[in-house]
């Protein structure tokens, strides 16, 4: 046994890293005795960690732990391992959170196509219900964007990531205070954050919700930032953009709601109460009655139409289902809901079926090391920065991991991993490739996946349905 290990967090063991951003990594955690799964967010602590950084994380935990709602990702528990124990355990703040086994809502959305109005309506209403509750608790989220909207095993929306949230209202008296800190991601931030003046909390979340509704219906964000340096935003303000695609394909009811939430002056912007009263919101949901298999079907409709689903889940019938020892059986039983199955969140791998919450994956009829060198070359040709992770001497078949990063068309930073492993296909050598995003927009990540598959070096080897 070498080096420090991860502690158990209230009975949960950290089994596999499933994501990681700048200062935190996310692991899948399994409680073997109780056959339960969770996510564990680990924020590293070192001797260099400042008190201010600690206080920020403690604030996030205090805020998140107090929020209990069916559309908010649940905060389960936390433990802290101090740097002085680093010989025994990896020091850090361990946050145990509900694992959203349905993956990312926006991972299922075809770029520049979006989802049908019924799906958008269902998820928008869940988002608004969650946000109304959060505001009632006196909390402003301040970082509403597609990557913070997850799905559980039954397909319900979960709002996550309270790292930038702020308490702006006292629950007892209802007294509110303006906020001053500049934060959020440019395509989703409200225009009043461009000045240095203090701003009201609730309207900036409403703006974020408006951008998300547009993105659901259009398959892309409306602009890269709400300032005069964005031509699209200028055409929005002047009104000339409404004759252009994709704005001209949004129905008039939905459009009036989007424009109400994306009103530049925060004093005239719709409130959440106004949003609830809007006819587009108030109509009954057609999908809610149809059950979760119909929902999964409708959600991935655009991915099936454009052929993405045939690439992510071709029918490759595999041999018997052996399983890895790292709790994959528990994982599979925890993830095998009708919703996750209908969404095809399972991949055929060498050792049988495996839960993969990402639909950005494909199979190829080349061995792993050859495929990885073609992927590496193709991504660099797409102006993506790449760095190979070290491979064990004896691992001629991988798995190979490539760290990738860059900026998308909206100037937003993205980072993630491309992982290639061996996969025997009809008796001959092949590979399974999965692209896992850590940071950035799920929509531009899907565009990158598609560009890689269509690149001249990779395309001839991709297995399709």
Whether 143 is catalytic? yes
Tell how strand 92-97 and strand 103-104 pair up: unpaired
Pull the structure tokens for residue 188: 């989703």
Angstrom distance (rounded) from CA 405 to CA 413: 7
Q: Binding site annotation covers 5?
A: no
Give the H/E segment covering residue 135: helix 117-136
Instruction: Report phi then psi at 303, rounded to 5.
Output: -75, -30
Q: How far apart are CA 142 and CA 155, in angstroms?
A: 24
Phi first, then psi: give them for residue 440, nearest 5 degrees.
105, 180
State the catalytic residue, choosing from 104, 107, 143, 408.
Answer: 143
Beta bridge partners of 406: 414
The closest alpha carbon to 433, from 356, 378, 380, belongs to 356
Q: What is the DSSP string of 379-399?
A: HHHTT-EEEEPP--TT-TT--
- How many CA atoms lie within 13 Å of 117's alpha carbon, on the beta-carbon side? 14
How far, in Å, CA of 128 to CA of 122, rounded? 10
Q: What is the DSSP string of 311-350?
A: HHS-----S-----TTTHHHHHHHH--HHHHHTT-EEEET
Contact between 404 and 379 under an 8 Å Cβ cutoff? The reply is yes
How far is it, in rounded angstroms, from Cα 164 to Cα 142? 6
Token pair belonging to 400: 């190979």
> Annotated binding site for ATP: which residue ranges?
41
Active site residues: 143
């Amino acid at each position: 046994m070498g080096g420090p290990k991860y502690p158990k967090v209230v009975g949960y063991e950290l089994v596999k890293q499933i994501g990681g951003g700048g200062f935190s990594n996310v692991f899948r955690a399994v409680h073997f005795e109780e056959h339960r799964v969770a996510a564990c967010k680990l924020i590293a602590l070192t001797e260099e960690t400042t008190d201010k950084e600690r206080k920020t994380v403690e604030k996030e935990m205090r805020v998140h732990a107090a929020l209990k709602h069916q559309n908010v990702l649940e905060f389960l528990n936390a433990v802290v391992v101090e740097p002085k124990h680093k010989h025994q355990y990896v020091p850090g703040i361990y946050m145990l959170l509900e694992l959203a086994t349905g993956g990312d809502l926006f991972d299922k959305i075809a770029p520049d196509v979006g989802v049908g109005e019924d799906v958008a309506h269902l998820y928008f209403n869940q988002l608004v219900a969650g946000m109304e509750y959060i505001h009632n608790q006196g909390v402003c989220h301040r970082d509403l964007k597609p990557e913070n909207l997850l799905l559980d095993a039954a397909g319900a929306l979960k709002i996550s990531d309270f790292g930038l949230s702020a308490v702006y209202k006292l629950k007892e008296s209802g007294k509110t205070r303006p906020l001053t800190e500049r934060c959020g991601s440019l395509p989703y931030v409200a225009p009043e954050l461009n000045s240095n003046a203090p701003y009201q909390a609730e309207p900036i979340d409403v703006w974020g919700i408006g951008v998300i509704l547009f993105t659901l219906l259009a398959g892309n964000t409306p602009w890269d930032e709400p300032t005069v340096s964005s031509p699209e935003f200028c055409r929005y303000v002047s009104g000339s953009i409404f004759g252009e695609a994709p704005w001209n394909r949004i129905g008039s009811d939905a459009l009036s709601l989007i424009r109400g939430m994306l009103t530049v002056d925060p004093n005239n912007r719709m409130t959440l109460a106004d949003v609830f009263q809007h006819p587009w919101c108030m109509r009954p949901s057609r999908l809610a009655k149809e059950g979760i298999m119909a929902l999964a079907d409708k959600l991935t409709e655009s991915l099936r139409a454009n052929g993405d689903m045939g690439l992510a889940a071709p029918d490759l019938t595999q041999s018997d289902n052996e399983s890895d020892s790292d709790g994959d059986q528990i994982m599979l039983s925890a993830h095998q809901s009708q919703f996750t199955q209908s969404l095809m969140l399972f991949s055929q791998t060498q050792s049988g079926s495996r839960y993969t919450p990402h639909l950005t994956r494909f199979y190829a009829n080349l061995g792993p090391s050859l495929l990885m060198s073609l992927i590496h070359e193709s991504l660099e040709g797409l102006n993506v920065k790449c760095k190979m992770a070290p491979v064990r001497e004896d691992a001629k078949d991988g798995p190979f991991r490539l760290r990738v990063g860059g900026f998308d068309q909206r100037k937003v930073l993205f980072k993630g991993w491309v992982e290639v492993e061996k996969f025997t296909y009809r008796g001959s050598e092949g590979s399974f490739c999965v692209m896992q995003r850590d940071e950035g927009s799920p929509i531009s990540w899907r565009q990158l996946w598609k560009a890689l598959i269509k690149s001249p070096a990779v395309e001839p080897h991709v297995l399709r349905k």
